[in-house]
Amino acid sequence: MSEIQNQSNQAVSSESGPLSAFDLFKRQDREVAKKAIAARLLRNGVKQEDPVDLSYVPKEGETLEPLTPESGNEALEVYRHSTAHLLAAAVLDLYPGTKLGIGPALLDDPKGGFYYDFQRPEGERFTPEDLPKIEKKMRDLIKRNLEYKRLEMPKAEAEKKFAELGEPLKCELIEEKAGATVSCYTIEGTPFVDFCLGPHIPSTSKIKAIKLLSIAGAHWKGDETRPQMQRIYGTSFFSQEELDDWIKQKEEAEKRDHRRIGPELDLFSFSDAIGPGLVLWHPNGALIRKVIEQFLNDELYRRGYSFVNTPHVTQSELFRISGHLENYQEGLYPPMTDKENEQIEYRMKPMNCPFHIQIYKSKQRSYRDLPQRYAEYGMVYRYERSGVTHGLMRARGFTQDDAHLFCTPEQLVGEVIACLDLVDFVMKAFGFEYKAELSVRHATDHSKYLGSDEVWTMAEAALTDGLNQYGLPYVRMEDEAAFYGPKIDFKVVDAIKRTWQLSTIQVDFNLPQRFGIEFISSDNKPHQPIMVHRAILGSFERFFGILIEHYAGAFPVWLAPVQAIVLPISDKYNEQAQKVEAELKAAGHRVASDQRSEKIGAKIRDAQLKKIPFMLIIGEREAEAGTVAVRDRVKGDQGAIPVAEFAARLSELNKTRALTT
């Protein structure tokens, strides 16, 4: 028996045999072992992609670290995956004959924390009334403290077992994905058996807070030609308090749902005649978008960017060179054949970067020409199954606020700092707090990353130096870099404390090499420039959806499609209302008037529903004095002031991009 220090949770044997992860944790700290739900596995110091069960017995060279509720998403994913299995066990117990699909964990998904897909016998379907019954059964199974057990068997035996269980979809998955040995899980005392790699919690009693949420339709593997299944969504947390907070947040999120507010405020819509995931911007939404574009335009010009425009389609060869055909085939739309030459195919563009490289390559570049900063609001198209599109948040066609920077290695730190300052400026303008994450290579395992150690060290140092010099706190995320280079991601926190990833700064060694781009340096020799992908909003569509929900549709004055509406108290004052409207429009403000023959209370109510920042009421006194009685949508009546004074007030709110009035 080899002697290895137990303190590092490495392979250890006792008189009763090899010790499991749980045994090792228990020897080191009983309280930690009690809280652990799974273990992180390191092999020769290299963190492995997937955690392992607490029953796992480490081998020579392997080290284990406990995953507890404090371990973040890595632990939560195991916990919720196990809860999905619990849901399936409850369903099989209550509804014999139900066939199993898949049941993954979900993180940061508005629909819930997990789901499981089921196929009921013909003529039988789940209804919302079934959810409390299923949830009660899940709670009963939790109380029984049933063990999650991992089984390994030869592939042929597994196929036979699932065929005997009447689980054709599991047989299909085993045929497609399993190796010679198949990993399965059961929950003790239930009819549930699943083809699954795990890991899972040790027993059902570890689950503390659950809630089933909804039922939706789903097709097996997202294939609309396959029979429709039913997907039950739920969520789970490590404590009831966390679940209660999430439910409150979800209720508030539903009130703010951009898919409801958008049509109500005439911002955007979708059309079955056009297709899922393809956005129609209505007048109000398009106006807000133009305001945002102009805000960005002014700032980018000031910061030395050049705007470019590129086509919506390209020959497929461009994406063969870039590697997208090889690595992102599923996200591309099918090719179109050139009518004049069937050997040539065209594709809708999924991203702008290869196009910007062609602009860079259009002439020889000197080190004196660098940096080059190309910005574009480029429409891109990515194929998403219709069942996974989600309003503006996940569309098939969207507009990236893309920029690509080409610079020398010596310029990289300065460009990073400039990008950090731009992100900070824009996020503050919209009222977002944000956090930064620096994603780098694994410290020792570089197998999945392109580029030499020298360029990686230089790029990671440049991003780190940029963050430190700018004074921005960040979290270092090891082994989270893109395969082509390190990156900084920015996550904003909205009004109801949800986190959204928006801005990104990514260093790329891959595309410059693939396309052979160069600049002539001071030594009169060609060198490869550094390429930086930079996006601030991500996409206009998704950012607009986030803005709608952040503001609950009540945009600040500088963004509001109608900043003020003039409300005459009767038809007698319509002419004066028209004059006020014209005067404010002449001053450059977005103003409307409501001259319907309605009572003033109804007009105010309608303006409030439209979330217009200011209502300007005109009656006899206001008409005679040349004033307007100002009503703020939040603060209520503000008193009467001269029209010119109100115009100046609007100008100041616009100039400062004030978030409140």
Residue 546 and residue 256 in contact, taking contact as beta carbons nearer than 8 Å: no
Secondary structure class of 203 (helix, strand, coil): strand
In angstroms, the CA 124 to CA 114 distance is 23
The β-bridge partners of 17 are 14
**What one-letter code names the amino acid at 173?**
L
pLDDT at 388: 80
N residues, the chain: 661
Residues 312, 297: Cα–Cα separation, whole Å:
21
C-alpha torsion sign, points 574, 576, 577, 581: positive
| Phi-psi sector, 46: left (phi>0), alpha (psi -120 to 50), beta | beta
**What pLDDT does residue 10 have?**
64
Give domain 283-307+349-376+402-551's CATH number out of 3.30.499.10, 3.40.50.300, 1.20.1740.10, 3.30.930.10.
3.30.930.10
- Round to whole Å and give the CA distance between 403 and 505: 10
358 is known as an active-site residue: no
Interior/surface letters 144-157, b for 16+ CB within 10 angstroms, e for the rest: eebbbbbeeeeeee
CA distances from 427 to 158, 430, 479, 541, 659 (A): 53, 5, 27, 16, 12
Residue from 326, 503, 322, 520 nearest 421 by CA: 503
Parse the chain into domains and list their residue ranges.
6-70, 74-255, 283-307+349-376+402-551, 564-655
Amino acid 328 reads: Y
Catalytic residue among 404, 441, 589, 631: 404
d(CA 234, CA 131): 10
Token pair, residue 642, equals 């001269």
> In the prediction, which pLDDT does 3 show?
30
Active site (annotated) includes residue 400: yes
161's CB contacts (< 8 A; 6+ apart) are: 153, 184, 193
| Per-residue H/E/C for 546-597 | HHHHHHCCCCCCCCCCCCEEEEECCHHHHHHHHHHHHHHHHCCCCEEECCCC
Question: Strand, helix or coil at 166?
Answer: coil
Tell me which of 171, 196, 353, 419 is the catalytic residue: 353
pLDDT at 328: 81
> Which two tokens mark 653?
């709110």
Residue located via tokens 């399965």: 184
Q: How far apart are CA 434 and CA 122, in angstroms?
A: 50
What's the farthest any 2 CA atoms get from each other in the chain? 100
577: left (phi over 0), alpha (psi -120 to 50) or beta: alpha
Spell out where 282-428 has E strands. Answer: 306-307, 313-315, 336-338, 341-348, 372-381, 397-407
Q: Among residues 117, 402, 508, 594, which one is catalytic?
A: 402
Catalytic residue, candidates 161, 206, 533, 589: 533
Helix (H, G, I), strand (E, B) or coil at 55: coil
Query: Residue 579: what pLDDT?
Result: 97
How many CB atoms are closer than 10 A to CB 250? Answer: 17
- Cis peptide bond upstream of 276, omega within 30: no
Distance from C-alpha of 624 to C-alpha of 154, rounded to nearest angstrom: 92
Rounded CA-CA distance 444/228 in Å is 46
Which DSSP letter does residue 331 get? Answer: G
Ranges of the chain whose pLDDT falls below 70: 1-17
Tell me what pLDDT residue 364 has: 96
The pair of structure tokens assigned to 340 is 């004049």
Residue of 608, 659, 654, 601 whose CA lies nearest to 634: 608
**CA distance linking residue 43 with residue 10, whole number of Å:** 10
Q: Which CATH code of 3.30.980.10, 3.40.50.300, 3.40.630.30, 2.40.160.10 fits the domain covering 74-255?
A: 3.30.980.10
Q: What percent of the chain has pLDDT over 70?
A: 97
- Which residue is catalytic, options 10, 230, 372, 400? 400
Question: Residues 472, 479: contact at Cβ < 8 Å?
Answer: no
Nearest to 361 by CA among 418, 322, 414: 322
Residue 534 annotated in active site: no
- Which helix (H) or strand (E) segment holds residue 616: the answer is strand 614-618
The token pair that represents 559 in the structure block: 């963004």
Hey, what are 362's tokens?
């259009």
Residue 199: is the preceding peptide bond cis (ω within 30°)? yes
603 labelled catalytic? no
DSSP 430-468: TT-EEEEEEEE--SS--TT--S-HHHHHHHHHHHHHHHH
Give yes or no: 324 in active site: no
Catalytically annotated residue among 137, 161, 441, 487: 487
Question: Phi/psi class of residue 405: alpha, beta or left (left: φ > 0; alpha: ψ in -120 to 50)?
Answer: beta
Catalytic option among 80, 200, 206, 382? 382
DSSP classification of residue 366: B
Instruction: Sort residue 632 into left (φ over 0), alpha (ψ -120 to 50) or beta.
Output: beta
Q: Cα–Cα distance between 509 and 325 in angstroms, integer?
A: 18
Residue type, 616: L
Backbone angles phi, psi at 7, to 5 degrees: -60, -25
The DSSP code for 15 is T
Residues 31/56, Cβ–Cβ less than 8 Å: no
- Do residues 384 and 277 touch, judged by C-beta distance below 8 A? yes
The three-point CA angle 220-381-389 to 5° equals 40
- Cα–Cα distance for residue pair 257/261, rounded to 1 Å: 6
Distance CA 19, CA 25 (A): 10
- List, edge to edge, every strand of the sheet that includes 62-67: 46-47, 38-43, 62-67
Cα 507 to Cα 484: distance, rounded to the nearest angstrom: 7
Residue 226: the pLDDT is 87
Which CATH number does 564-655 carry?
Answer: 3.40.50.800
